[in-house]
């Protein structure tokens, strides 16, 4: 089972696209809204070194932005 955590904000268009893509593929994930969750924001920065969103943690692999090819590779999704 994959452990997926998505760090995002409600106003980020790439975040919305990423979450919609995961939902379309039936992939469950934990969502952290870094706009209101300050601990979650600090966790994201510590993991990624980034303050921008989205940041996705898939089984410990960090993806910055909506990198569909890398997401598909890590989750073994064939298009």
Q: Does the global pTM surpass 0.75?
A: yes
Q: With 90 as the cut, is the pLDDT of residue 51 above it?
A: yes
Average pLDDT, the chain: 96
Give the mean pLDDT of 50-61.
96
Give the mean pLDDT of 30-51.
97
Helix (H) or strand (E) holding 8: strand 4-8
Q: Residue 59: left (phi > 0), alpha (psi -120 to 50), or beta?
A: left
Its CATH architecture, for the domain 4-75, is 3-Layer(aba) Sandwich (3.40)
Q: With 80 as the cut, is the pLDDT of residue 22 above it?
A: yes
| pLDDT score, position 20 | 98
| pLDDT score, position 74 | 96
Domain boundaries, the chain: 4-75
């Amino acid at each position: 089972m994959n452990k997926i955590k998505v760090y995002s904000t409600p106003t980020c268009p790439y975040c919305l696209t990423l979450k919609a893509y995961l939902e379309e593929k039936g992939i469950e994930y934990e969502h952290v809204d870094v706009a209101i969750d300050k601990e979650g924001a600090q966790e994201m920065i510590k993991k990624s070194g980034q303050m921008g969103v989205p940041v996705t943690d898939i089984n410990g692999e960090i993806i910055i932005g909506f990198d569909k090819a890398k997401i598909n590779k890590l989750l073994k999704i064939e298009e």
